[in-house]
C-alpha cells in the first residue's frame, strides 16, 4: 500500500470518528440537555432526530419524556383517631423541564428518591389529618344488607364519611405536585394501593369480625327457627281445618246416604211389609249365628218364627 493510500485511509477514519463524535440522535421518547465540561449549554433538546454537538467537549444527558411510575414503600402511619395502619401508595410523574431537572436532580434515580421523601411525607400528613373511615371509604353508600350493615362493616361503618379517600388522595397529590414543580417534574396522580392494619391490631380486628359474623349467624338461625315454627303451626292449623271440612262433608254425605237408604227401606216395607220383614230376618241370621255360636231360643220367639214355620211346611 502506498503512502498516499495510507494517509487517505487515516483521514477517512478520522473523518468518520469526527462525524460520529459531533452528532447524536434522539427518539420520540427522549429529551436531552447538552453540557460542556459539566455546565449546561443552551435550551433542552426535545425534538427527535439527528442533532449536532461539539466533539469531545459536549455531553448528551438523556431523559425520558414518557409518564413514569412511582411506587412508595408501605409505611406505618397513625390516623387522626389513633389507629395504626400500613399505607401503600403509587403515582405517575414525568419530566417537563429537563434543564431544571438536570440542575436539581441530575438523573431519574435521584428523582425517585426525592419523590419518596415528598409523597411519603404528604401521605403521612394527610392520613394523620383524617379518621380511618375517610381513608377506607369514598362515600356513605350503604351495604347491600342494610339490616346488618353495622355488623358487616364493623364499627367504622357506623361513622359518617365527610371527605373520603378521593379527597384525601387529591390532597396528597396537590400538595406534593406543588413541591416537585421546582425540580422540573409534573406529578399527575397519586393513589392508595392498599391500606391494612398493623399486625397487632389486625388480629383483634379479625377476631371481632369473626365474633360479629357468628352473632349474625346466630341471629339468622334464631329467626329461621322462629319462622320454621310459625310455618309448622300454620301447617297444623291448615291441616286441621282441611280435616274438619272433610269430616263435615263426609258426615253430610253419609247422612244423605243413610236418609236415602231409610227412604228406600221405608218404601220397600210399605209395598210388602211381610216380605220385607222376612228378608231382614234372613239377613240377620248369618250376622248373628256362625259355626262357633250356640243359640238358645224359645219356640215362641219372633226370631225363630220363620224357621219354625218352614219346618211346619
Of the two residues 227 and 282, the one the predictor is more confident about is: 227
| pLDDT tens digit sequence for 271-291 | 777 777 777 777 776 777 677
Q: Which residues contact 93 (CB under 8 A, 6 or more apart)?
A: 67, 68, 70, 111, 115, 180, 185, 186, 187, 188
Residue 208 lies in a domain: no
Which helix (H) or strand (E) segment is 36 a member of?
Answer: strand 30-36
Q: How many domains does the chain have?
A: 4
Please report the pLDDT score of residue 277 as a whole number. 72
Nearest to 90 by CA among 178, 193, 180: 193
Q: 222 and 255, same structural domain? A: yes
Of the two residues 263 and 270, the one the predictor is more confident about is: 263
Q: 285 and 239, same structural domain? A: no
**Terminal CA-to-CA distance of the chain, rounded, Å?**
173
Q: 21 and 84, same structural domain? A: no
Residue 179 lies in a domain: yes
Q: Which residues contact 168 (CB under 8 A, 6 or more apart)?
A: 126, 127, 130, 134, 135, 192
Three cell numbers, residue 187: 406529578
How confident is residue 14, by pLDDT bands cut at 50, 70 and 90?
low
Is the Cα dihedral 93, 99, 101, 102 positive or negative? positive
CB atoms within 10 A of CB 63: 21
pTM, two decimal places:
0.60
- d(CA 32, CA 60) in angstroms, rounded, equals 6
Least confident of 49-63, 141-155, 178-192, 203-217: 141-155
How confident is residue 28, by pLDDT bands cut at 50, 70 and 90?
very high
In percent, the amount of the chain with pLDDT more than 90 equals 44
Q: 286 and 263, same structural domain? A: no
Please report the pLDDT score of residue 141 as a whole number. 72
Of the two residues 290 and 45, the one the predictor is more confident about is: 45
Is the Cα dihedral 207, 213, 216, 220 positive or negative? negative
Please report the pLDDT score of residue 140 as a whole number. 76
Amino acid at each position: 500500500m502506498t503512502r498516499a493510500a495510507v494517509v487517505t485511509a487515516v483521514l477517512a477514519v478520522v473523518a468518520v470518528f469526527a462525524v460520529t463524535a459531533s452528532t447524536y440522535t434522539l427518539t420520540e421518547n427522549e429529551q436531552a440537555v447538552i453540557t460542556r465540561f459539566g455546565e449546561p449549554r443552551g435550551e433542552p433538546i426535545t425534538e427527535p432526530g439527528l442533532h449536532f454537538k461539539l466533539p469531545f467537549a459536549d455531553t448528551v444527558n438523556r431523559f425520558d419524556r414518557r409518564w413514569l411510575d412511582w411506587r412508595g414503600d408501605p409505611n406505618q402511619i397513625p390516623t387522626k383517631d389513633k389507629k395504626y395502619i400500613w399505607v401503600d401508595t403509587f403515582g405517575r410523574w414525568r419530566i417537563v423541564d429537563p434543564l431544571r431537572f438536570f440542575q436539581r436532580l441530575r438523573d431519574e434515580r435521584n428523582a425517585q428518591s426525592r419523590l419518596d421523601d415528598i409523597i411519603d411525607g404528604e401521605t403521612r400528613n394527610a392520613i394523620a389529618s383524617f379518621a380511618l373511615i375517610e381513608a377506607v371509604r369514598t362515600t356513605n353508600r350503604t351495604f347491600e344488607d342494610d339490616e346488618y350493615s353495622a355488623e358487616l362493616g364493623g364499627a367504622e361503618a357506623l361513622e359518617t364519611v365527610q371527605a373520603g379517600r378521593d379527597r384525601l388522595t387529591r390532597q396528597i397529590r396537590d400538595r406534593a405536585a406543588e413541591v416537585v414543580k421546582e425540580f422540573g417534574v409534573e406529578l399527575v396522580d397519586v393513589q392508595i394501593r392498599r391500606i391494612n392494619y398493623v399486625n397487632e391490631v389486625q388480629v383483634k380486628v379479625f377476631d371481632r369480625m369473626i365474633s360479629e359474623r357468628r352473632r349474625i349467624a346466630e341471629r339468622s338461625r334464631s329467626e329461621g327457627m322462629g319462622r320454621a315454627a310459625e310455618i309448622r303451626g300454620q301447617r297444623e292449623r291448615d291441616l286441621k281445618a282441611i280435616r274438619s271440612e272433610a269430616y263435615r262433608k263426609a258426615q253430610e254425605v253419609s247422612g244423605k246416604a243413610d236418609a236415602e237408604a231409610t227412604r228406600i227401606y221405608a218404601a220397600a216395607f210399605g209395598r210388602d211389609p211381610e216380605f220385607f220383614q222376612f228378608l231382614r230376618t234372613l239377613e240377620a241370621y248369618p250376622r248373628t249365628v256362625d259355626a262357633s255360636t250356640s243359640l238358645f231360643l224359645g219356640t215362641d220367639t219372633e226370631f225363630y218364627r220363620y224357621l219354625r214355620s218352614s219346618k211346619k211346611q
